[in-house]
Amino acid sequence: MKKRLLIIFFSVIIICSSCSTAYAAASNQSTGITLDGSFYDWRNMPGVFYAEYDSSTYWVNYIEVKYVSSKDYLYLFVDRTYASSSSYWHFSVIMLNATKGFTNHQYPQFDVTTNYSWYYSPVVNVSFNGTSIESTYSASDNRYAVEFRIPLAQVGLNGVSKQVQFLIKADPNPYVYGGYLNYSPQITVTTGPTLWQLSSIIAFLGVSFLVYKKHKRKIKEII
């Protein structure tokens, strides 16, 4: 009976952790993503949906974010609404195990800010930690869409850390609460098993071994 309870307990932990986190596992395989503005290659990639028009302020409305990771880059596709063709919007990708709330001002160096200018033609400027990064975008049907990639080494995934979580926030002002896209599930980029995951596996095996020994001893006593 105890053995069954332990199995159920650990199963619940695994299921809960999986449901609260969306993983983008970095691998040596090609992502198949080309930053060319067509966005067709994103069709089968995992994504996080948002309640469209959940706010009366159009520039904080998202539609969807999709993500995929190679061994070197995190690729992001962001689809958003806007008020009119003359509007601009910007957003922040908050890295380093970010949490929802006012604490985001602790991570300004890891924000990705996107701005649009409509003086002559649409222009996108995507910068990461003050440096321009490769990106492309499209604007049509009262929507903005942008795709870009972030070097994993610049967000700490350079062999030392094994995973990093990130949020996407509509307003880059760190003191403005709200406008988050993906708070649940949290998106996590991982390059391998973390210390917590390894510890959980070791603990599970240890408890299972103790239960097995106790169960085996009882069988011997009965025989």
Listed residue (141, 191, 150) closest to 168, CA to CA: 150
CATH number at residue 132: 2.60.40
Quote the CA–CA distance of 80 and 89 in Å, as a whole number.
9
Residue 214 is assigned to a structural domain of this protein: no
User: What is the separation, in whole angstroms, between the first and last Cα of the chain?
Assistant: 20
Residue 18 is assigned to a structural domain of this protein: no
The domain in which residue 99 lies consists of 23-191
Quote the CA–CA distance of 167 and 183 in Å, as a whole number.
7
Residue 27 is assigned to a structural domain of this protein: yes
Residue 63 is assigned to a structural domain of this protein: yes
Residue 211 is assigned to a structural domain of this protein: no
**How many domains in the chain?**
1
> How many C-alpha atoms does 44 have within 13 Å on its Cβ side?
4
CA quadruple 119, 66, 53, 90: dihedral positive or negative?
A: negative
Residue 122 is assigned to a structural domain of this protein: yes
Quote the CA–CA distance of 4 and 7 in Å, as a whole number.
5
Q: Is 102 helix (H, G, I), strand (E, B) or coil?
A: helix
The DSSP secondary-structure symbol of 202 reads H
Q: Give the model's pLDDT for residue 196.
A: 40
Q: Are 96 and 107 in contact (CB under 8 A)?
A: yes
Residue 223 is assigned to a structural domain of this protein: no
Residue 83 is assigned to a structural domain of this protein: yes
Task: Give, for all 223 residues of the chain, the pLDDT tens digit.
Answer: 555 544 444 444 444 444 445 656 666 667 888 877 778 888 888 777 665 555 556 555 667 778 888 878 878 887 776 645 455 555 555 444 444 444 444 443 444 555 544 444 445 556 665 666 666 665 555 556 777 777 777 666 655 566 666 666 665 555 555 556 655 556 677 765 543 444 444 555 555 656 556 656 655 555 5
